[in-house]
Structure 1
Amino acid sequence: MSRHSTAHHFLQGLIDLGIDYIFANLGTDHVSLIEALAEWDREGRKHPEVILCPHEVVAVHMAAGYALATGRAQAVFVHVDAGTANACMAIQNLFRYRLPVMLFAGRAPFTLHGELTGSRDTYVHFVQDPFDIASIVRPYVKWEYSLPSGVVVKEALARAHAFAESDPPGPVYMMLPRETLAEEWDDAAMPAYPPARYGSVQAGGIEPERVERIADALMAAENPIALTAYLGRKAQAVAVLERLAQLCGIRVAEFNSIDLNISQASPCFAGFDPSALLEQADLGLLLDSDVPFVPQYARRADAIKWIQIDVDPLKADFPMWGFPTDMRIQGDCATILYQVCEAIEARADDAWRRRVAARIASWS
């Protein structure tokens, strides 16, 4: 029966998840992974491409760029507590930008006297072993775990990946003790955990009753506005927002935007400061926005009816948020706005369309 190290099965787990890249700043804790990579190279086996990075912030932000372009989480390897600390600021960026990444930190050996393969054999193994490494990044990750045994490595990877890519997406963190990576396991004890069966959960649409309520509000509004920051994370959402904005005569502002949410050539694009829009609006859509405006500078906001559609409407990781909404909906903006467009198209008459066209013409 064939046996391989946990590090070997870890790499196979990354392959099973479709991971393309490992962005790495390596240390003594990665010995087994380096050996497994070298063995795979000798055998001509394909593994995720390793990109060596001079600093952990570089590694995490390279993974962020890949996630921003593709929506897919990649692997980042860092060295124990020191690498985790260096990566922390970048992880905070990804957490707030809602970008998935799988951050893996080696962990100092837990055996001191050579009891196991990978035991402590150098000075840093003593001084880089704090009580709670995960506390460094805990406020900025969706899930954390210290791998207790190589026998669960593929299952743990599948769970990490599912958390990273589930809505709202974000970073996850796993610690890999050196002895655990060096363990050997029979290949037969390492079944795959494919994403098709153990994968992420995505937000979707809503039931017809709430679609009709949103359509009613938009068709009755005289000065509707929409505020967004990261709706454009999904490319299809940009087109559907443009369609809805022109259909209903909605002015769209991006406040602290992360993505392109609507074309700046659109007659509905209203810039990056929503302050002027708030003065006349009677209905506002909050679409995938963590901070749509600053409340103390928006005294008239309470006079506006607000409909919030967001992948995370409660902002669960914000201790305080402070934006009241009349309809608060958790879901996928692209799907829900498409549903609303279809409902409005089905009942819009010529008189209403002329009124909307006049409103849009008045902006120029």
Structure 2
Amino acid sequence: MRPVDALLRVLREEGVTKVFGNPGTTELPFLDALAGAADIEYVLGVHEGSVVAMADGYARATGRPAFVSLHVAAGLANGLVGLLNASRSRTPLVVTAGQQDRRHLVQDPMLSGDLVGLARAAVKHTFDVQHAHDLPVLLRRAFQLAVRPPAGPVFLSVPMDLLAEDTDVTLPARSTLAPPGVAGGVAEAARLLAGARRPAIVAGDGVGRDGAVAELVAVAEALGAVVHHQPMHDGVDFPGTHPLHAGALPPLNAAIRETLAAHDVVFIVGCHAFMPHHYTPGPAVPDSVTVVQLDSDSAEPGRNFPVALGMTGGIRATLARLAEALAGRVPRARQRIAAAAASHAARRAAADAAALAAYGPAPFDPLAAVHAVVAGLPEDAVVVEEAITSGVRLRSVLRLDRPGSLVHTVGGGLGSGIGAAVGHAMGRPERPVVAVLGDGCSLFGLQGLWSAARYGARATFVVMNNGEYRTLKETLDAWRSRATATGHYPGLDLATTRLDFTKAAEFFGVPAVRAKGLDGLTETVAKSALPSGPLLVDVPVTSHSSHR
């Protein structure tokens, strides 16, 4: 079997039916082989940033590693932001880049470079394939590593002449790996949690990735413990309308510490170190709190704060066993649930009232605009969020219960939203996708609209258009002292007049409309339930919200 044939065979056996890529000369042997492979589709993106974002969205939608083909050093460099996002969000990807022909690498040919060195800081693991007989083994290894906790992207540099070799290689059989089992320490965890007077849970994105939302609900109800999502969570890790759901923790150590200080025992599940955004002095967890931590990654428990008990194992399996161990042990659980329900219902009602009070003509208050979007969401919609300032307001009124209904990247590399929405629509075509995007974020990933049009993605792109980098202005205002505040924001305005995203969409072949009223915006979003192709909605919003 030739090396390139072995590559295709591994892809098929690993369940790959789509290759996300942007091709170049060093990938021509692979493209030639794909021409005869009707069962594997090449999904084209016109920029590598969009390519990796599409693969990320597709992997999350399908629950399987996505396969990415990039072009030599330049293409890999363009895709690095997406790989950084995938690493932070624990998305399994297998990524290849074609290296220049080895027979003239010594001459430093065009576009050649240290691909492994370039990728190393952005991915979980790298392989520099130098021998044809190693390619099948390393591909198998890459797919295994991509899903092994902590999941993430794995990179292989593959010289073009290696793929073109007419030599026989051996293909190792695919291995079947058992999922992680129940962590040790469940009995002790149950004792510590059942003895808490004011218990709380932090639901990390590992819960959603492991399909363990129902099991976490059972643990929370057995304790009567309020549940916070991790800061800027990437998915639905606890139902948003559940009486115990207390919202997401803010991405600041000081604010996290203030919230957790109200509790004596905190159970942290599948959460990567809180990842604060702006610096505030002091730890995220106060010394007075007893912490029980569960993660599938053995490096997490005790990583950034001391724990009374750290457990490593399968999140879903361990939570199920813990729920059994806690059943009937906390007599006050029902009282706690009732008290939390009243408090959280009042908070949600206040958020809705503030949004409704801000309704008005265009340009819209951003809180009112996102509220109008939420009001139109189809029941089975997937929300892709990359809106920064409007995104924070969106989360205050967004209450998603169904696992897999939210896609975000805590990685922070801008430009992922459009591509992620396209990839998710490909992976779950039966569910409508509504992407809520900032105008600045959209400009970083605008090329993804080309793929949305080409593949007829069932996605509605809602661009919150304020014509500026609003989040940076707000952060700069907070950082400046009153004595030095000038009201001048160098480099933070996108245009002297508001950008027209309908024209950008039409250039790429995506139908577009501009929202003229909030009722119309709700109606437009509701129509995303129809099995149609992509649509972009340009939503003019004000710079400041009347409610922060």
User: Which interval holds the TM-score relative to the shorter structure?
Assistant: 0.7 to 0.9
**Cα gap change, 1:214 to 1:177, in 2 (>3 Å):** same
Over the matched positions of the two proteins, sequence identity in percent amounts to 26
Q: Is the 8 A contact 1:8 1:33 kept in 2?
A: no
Task: Provide the secondary structure at the position in 1 that maps to 2:281.
Answer: helix
Once the two structures are TM-superposed, the CA of residue 195 in structure 1 deviates from its matched residue by 3.3
Equivalent residue, structure 2, for 1:238:
213
Task: Provide the secondary structure at the position in 2 that maps to 1:261.
Answer: coil
Once the two structures are TM-superposed, the CA of residue 220 in structure 1 deviates from its matched residue by 0.8
Q: Is 2:127 the counterpart of 1:170?
A: no
Comparing 11-20 with 78-87, greater Cα deviation is found at 11-20
Q: Is the 8 A contact 2:292 2:309 kept in 1?
A: yes
Q: CA offsets, 1:57-78, max 9 Å, x none?
A: 1111111112112221121111
Once the two structures are TM-superposed, the CA of residue 99 in structure 1 deviates from its matched residue by 0.5
Q: Is the 8 A contact 1:16 1:192 kept in 2?
A: no
Matches within 5 A, 1:48-197: 48-112=40-104, 126-130=109-113, 132-186=114-168, 189-196=169-176
Output the CA distance in 2 between the equivalents of 1:82 and 1:128.
6
Q: Is the 8 A contact 2:97 2:158 kept in 1?
A: yes
Equivalent residue, structure 2, for 1:203:
180
Task: Provide the secondary structure at the position in 2 that maps to 1:62.
Answer: helix
Equivalent residue, structure 2, for 1:312:
297
Q: CA offsets, 1:111-140, max 9 Å, x none?
A: 13xxxxxx99xx9x713222x221222122
Task: Provide the secondary structure at the position in 2 that maps to 1:195.
Answer: coil
Matches within 5 A, 1:11-26: 11-26=8-23
Once the two structures are TM-superposed, the CA of residue 326 in structure 1 deviates from its matched residue by 1.4
Paired amino acid for 1:263: P
**Cα gap change, 1:299 to 1:231, in 2 (>3 Å):** closer
Equivalent residue, structure 2, for 1:116:
none
Paired amino acid for 2:288: A
Q: CA offsets, 1:174-220, max 9 Å, x none?
A: 0110110110123xx43342132xx5x6432124xx11111111111
Q: Is 2:192 the counterpart of 1:217?
A: yes
Equivalent residue, structure 1, for 2:454:
none
Structure 1: gaps (5+ residues)? 113-118
Q: Is 2:216 the counterpart of 1:228?
A: no
Output the CA distance in 2 between the equivalents of 1:211 and 1:35.
53
Q: Is 2:9 the counterpart of 1:29?
A: no
Comparing 146-155 with 332-341, greater Cα deviation is found at 146-155
- Which contiguous aligned blocks of 4+ residues in structure 1 show a shift greater than 3 angstroms? 274-277, 291-300
Equivalent residue, structure 1, for 2:226:
251
Once the two structures are TM-superposed, the CA of residue 159 in structure 1 deviates from its matched residue by 0.7
Q: CA offsets, 1:9-60, max 9 Å, x none?
A: 211221122212100110000111122122x2xxxx5442110111111111
**Cα gap change, 1:313 to 1:285, in 2 (>3 Å):** farther
Q: Is 2:334 the counterpart of 1:357?
A: yes
Paired amino acid for 2:235: D
Output the CA distance in 2 between the equivalents of 1:145 and 1:55.
24
**Cα gap change, 1:58 to 1:5, in 2 (>3 Å):** same
Output the CA distance in 2 between the equivalents of 1:29 and 1:332.
40
Task: Provide the secondary structure at the position in 2 that maps to 1:285.
Answer: strand
Q: CA offsets, 1:225-276, max 9 Å, x none?
A: 1112303434641011111111111111112211101111111100112555
The one of 282, 287, 297 equivalent to 1:302 is 287
Paired amino acid for 1:358: Q
The one of 248, 268, 276 equivalent to 1:272 is 248
Task: Provide the secondary structure at the position in 2 that maps to 1:127.
Answer: coil
- Please report the TM-score for the alignment, with normalisation by the length of structure 2: 0.57
Output the CA distance in 2 between the equivalents of 1:206 and 1:323.
20
Q: Is the 8 A contact 1:228 1:261 kept in 2?
A: yes
Structure 2: gaps (5+ residues)? 250-255, 343-548
Q: Is the 8 A contact 1:167 1:203 kept in 2?
A: no
Aligned-residue CA RMSD in angstroms? 2.4
Q: Is the 8 A contact 1:223 1:250 kept in 2?
A: yes
Task: Provide the secondary structure at the position in 2 that maps to 1:140.
Answer: coil
Q: CA offsets, 1:60-117, max 9 Å, x none?
A: 11111121122211211111100111111100000010010011000011213xxxxx
Q: Is the 8 A contact 2:119 2:126 kept in 1?
A: no
- State how many pairs are aligned: 331
Equivalent residue, structure 2, for 1:115:
none
Paired amino acid for 1:241: L
Once the two structures are TM-superposed, the CA of residue 301 in structure 1 deviates from its matched residue by 1.4
Q: Is the 8 A contact 1:20 1:74 kept in 2?
A: no
Q: Is the 8 A contact 1:226 1:284 kept in 2?
A: yes
**Cα gap change, 1:71 to 1:9, in 2 (>3 Å):** same
Q: CA offsets, 1:254-307, max 9 Å, x none?
A: 122111011111111001125554132000011111133757366771100001
Task: Provide the secondary structure at the position in 2 that maps to 1:338.
Answer: helix
Paired amino acid for 2:208: R
Output the CA distance in 1 between the equivalents of 2:175 and 2:54.
23
Once the two structures are TM-superposed, the CA of residue 166 in structure 1 deviates from its matched residue by 1.1
Paired amino acid for 1:67: A
